[in-house]
A and B are shown apart, each in its own frame.
Chain A
Amino acid sequence: MIDKIFFNFTRFSALLILIIVAWIFTVLFNHSLEAMNTFGLDFITKDEWAPNLDKFGAYAAILGSVISTTLAMMLAIPIAIGVAIFLSEIAHDRIKGFFGISVELLAAIPSVIYGMWGLFFFVPIIRDIFGGLGIGLLAAGIVLAIMVLPFMSAVTRDAMNTTPDILKESAYALGGTQWDVIKDIIIPYAKAGIIGSLILALGRAIGETMAVTFVMGNVHKVPSSILDPTTSIPVTLANEFSEADSSLYFSSLFGLALTLLIMSFVVIAVAKFYFLRKARRA
C-alpha cells in the first residue's frame, strides 16, 4: 500500500520534468502565435523593432545573439583548450588540485557579477582603445568569453582526462614528446568529448542574459561594426519584458523567448546526444 503510494509519488515527480518541458514549449508557442500570425517570416527577417508603431522584427536581436556568442566562442575556445591541456597534462599535482578547484568555483560565480565587472572595468578599457561608447558587441563577446571560460575549461579537461594512461604511456615509450602525446593521442582519443564540451558551453552562452545585458546597449539596430551597441534575444527580454504594454508586444517577446529556447535546446541536444554520447561509447 504505502509502497504503491511512494512509487507513484516518485514516478509523478519524474514525469513532472517532461510535463514542465512540454508545458514550457506549449505556453511559449501559444503566446507567440499572435506575433507569428501578424508578421509571419518577417518576424525573423526584418529588423524594425518599434513598439510605438506595433512593428516587431527580431532580426537584429537574433543576429546580435549569434554574433556575440560566435565572438565569445572564438576568444574562449583556444584559451579553454590551453587551460584544459595545462590542467590535465602540464601542471603538477598540487597546482592541478588548486587550479582545478578554483576554475570550478569560478564557474559558480553569478553571471550578474561578470556583467557588473564588465560594465565598470572592461567597457572603459574598450572605450579608451577603440573609441565610441565601449558598450556593444565586442564588450559583450569578451565578457561572455570570460564568463564561459571556467565551465568550458572544466568540461574540456574532464573530456581529456578520459584518455587511458596506458595509451599515453605507450606513446611516451615510443619517444613521443608531451606535445606529440597531446596532439596524436589525447586529442584524437577525446575528440568527440572535447567538441561536445565546447558545444555545451556554446549552448549556455546563447542563453546567458545578465553578463551581456550590462554591456550590450539594447539598441534594436543591425550593427555596422562590432563596436556598435546592439541587442540580443536575452538582452531584449531582460530589458523589455516588464515594460511591454500591448498584447502584440508581449506576443513578440514570447516569440523571442521561444526562438531562444529552440536555439539553445538544439545546440545542447547536439552536444549531448551526438558528441558526448559518442564519447562515452568510445
Chain B
Amino acid sequence: MTAVQKRVIINKIALALSTFSALIALGFLFWILGVLVMKGVGALNWNIFIFEGAPPGNPESGLKHALVGQGILIGLATAIGVPLGILAGTYLSEYGKNSRLAHTIRDISDIMMSAPSIVIGAFVYAVVVMPMGHFSAWAGAIALGIIMIPVILRTTDDMLQLVPGELREAAFALGAPKYKVILSVVYRGAKAGILTGVLLGIARVGGETAPLLFTSFNDNFFTTDLNEAMPSLTVTIFNYATSPYEDWQQLGWAAAFILSMFILGLNILGRVILFAGKKRK
C-alpha cells in the first residue's frame, strides 16, 4: 500500500467516524424531541387551559395556574431585566467603549451568563425570601431578572456597536445632544438586534427551573398574588413528573410540550427578526 492510499483510507475512516458521531448526536436529540411531541400532544386537551391543579385522580385538573403563573413571572422578570440590560449595554457600547471598566463589566457579565442558576436562587432566597419570611412571586421574578440581565447586556452591546459611527456623527453635527443621538439614532438603527436580544433573554429564563425552586416555590392553585408562592410551568413539570401518579405525569408532559414550543418559538422568532433586519440593509 502506498503512502497516498494509506492517507486516503485514513481520511475515509476519520470522516466516517465524524459523520457517525453527528448521527449519534442527532439520533439522541430527535429521540428526545420525538418523545416530547408524542407524549405532549397525547396529553393536550382543552381542560388543561380551563382547570387549575387538582389532587391526583380528579379529571377536572389542568395547568391554568401554572400557565398564568409562568406568564406573570416572566413578565415581571422582563420588566426587571430588560431595562437594566439595555441601559447597561448602552453604557458599554456608547460611553465605556474600550475603557478598562467596560471590559471588566463585559467579562464579569459573560461569566454570569454561564454561572449556575441555582446559586442565583440561593442568593435571592437569602436577600428576598428570608427577610419577607415566605416564598413569593417577586423573589422568583428577581432571580429570573438577574439571570436575564447579562444576556440582554451582551446582545445590546454587540448590536449597538454594529451601528455605523457615521450615523452618530451626522446626528451630532446637527447639534443633537448625546442622549438624543442614542435614543433616536443608535437605538433605531439597532432595533431589530435589541428586539432579538430581548426575545432570546426571555427564552433563556423561560426554561429556568432551578432558581424558582426556592424563590417563587410552587402552588397547585390559581393565584395572582405577587406576595405569595407562585406556580410556574417549569417547577410544575418537575413536581408532576417526579410524582407517582399517572395523570399528574401526563399533565407534566403536556406542560413540557407547551413550554418547549414557547421557547423554540421565541428562538425562531428572534432569528427571523434578526435575519429580516439584516436583509433590509
Contact = CB atoms under 8 A, between A and B. Distances in A.
A208 B208 CA distance: 11
Contacts of A85: 18
A21 interface: yes
B111 A209 contact: no
Interface in A167-210: 177-180, 182-183, 200, 203-204, 206-210
B99 to A, nearest CB: 11
A82 B20 contact: yes
A99 B214 contact: no
Contacts of B10: 177, 179
A269 interface: yes
A112 interface: yes
Contact of B116 (A90, A91, A214, A264): A264
A86 to B, nearest CB: 4
A260 B238 contact: no
Contact of A27 (B35, B110, B123, B237): B123
Contacts of A114: 32
B132 interface: no
Main secondary structure of the interface of A (DSSP, over half): helix
B260 A109 contact: yes
A149 B28 contact: yes
Given A82-B20, A116-B252, A13 B91 contact: yes
B96 A14 contact: yes
Contact of B259 (A113, A178, A206, A261): A113
Contacts of B115: 207, 261, 264-265, 268
A225 interface: no
B18 A86 contact: yes
A281 interface: no
Contact of B108 (A3, A18, A119, A203): A18
B92 interface: yes
Interface stretch (B50-58, B162-170, B190-198, B261-269): B261-269
Given A10-B95, A15-B105, A268 B114 contact: yes
Contacts of B35: 117, 120-121
A237 interface: yes
Interface of A: 2-3, 6-7, 9-18, 20-21, 23-24, 27-28, 31, 78-83, 85-87, 90-91, 99, 101-106, 108-117, 119-121, 146, 149-150, 153, 177-180, 182-183, 200, 203-204, 206-210, 213-214, 234, 237-238, 241-242, 253-254, 257, 260-261, 264-265, 268-269, 272-273
Contact-residue bracket for chain B: 35 or more
Nearest to A101: B271
B11 to A, nearest CB: 4
B21 to A, nearest CB: 3
B207 interface: yes
A119 B88 CA distance: 40
B77 to A, nearest CB: 14
Interface string B118-149: 11111101110000000100000000001001
Counting chain A CB atoms within 10 Å of each CB, which of B17, B121, B122 scores highest?
B122
Contacts of A242: 135, 213-214, 217
A108 B203 contact: yes
Contact of A269 (B18, B88, B111): B111
A21 B24 CA distance: 39
13 contacts: A6-B183, A13-B87, A82-B19, A87-B22, A99-B22, A108-B204, A108-B264, A109-B207, A110-B259, A111-B207, A116-B252, A178-B15, A241-B213
Interface stretch (B41-49, B60-68, B174-182, B219-227): B174-182
A234 B208 contact: no
B26 interface: yes
Given A112-B209, A210-B209, A24 B87 contact: no
A87 B267 CA distance: 21
B18 to A, nearest CB: 4
A282 B55 CA distance: 60
A78 B242 CA distance: 32
A92 to B, nearest CB: 12
Contact of B11 (A17, A113, A178): A178
A264 B121 CA distance: 15
List the 5 shortest-distance A-B pairs measured between CB atoms, nearest first.
Answer: A207-B116, A82-B21, A110-B207, A13-B87, A10-B91
